[in-house]
Amino acid sequence: MSFIVKNPLDKLPDILKKDLDSNLCVCNEVNKMEIIETIADGADTLEAVRRKTYATDGSGCCKRDVSRLIECIHGIDLGL
């Protein structure tokens, strides 16, 4: 069940708050803050993030990082 999260940065550990303007998905040039905002707006799976941002749609090297953001913001374990 997806839900909107207010103040998603408050849910992240300090290490994940760094480099918010840097591309987390280098294949499709999607920056970390765009992914965080998408997750906060209700995307609670890798597929939902991919549909909205194209992140994880290239080589998939960012899947673990995107999963970690989902887990922190929504408080769920994706098992990756």
Class of domain 20-74: mainly alpha
DSSP element (H, E) containing 34: helix 32-40
Task: List, run by run, the mean pLDDT of 10-residue segments along the chain (80 residues).
Answer: 82 94 98 98 97 97 97 78
Give the model's pLDDT for residue 3.
Answer: 75
Segments making up each domain of the chain, as ranges: 20-74
Q: CB–CB of 79/43 below 8 Å?
A: no
pTM score: 0.89
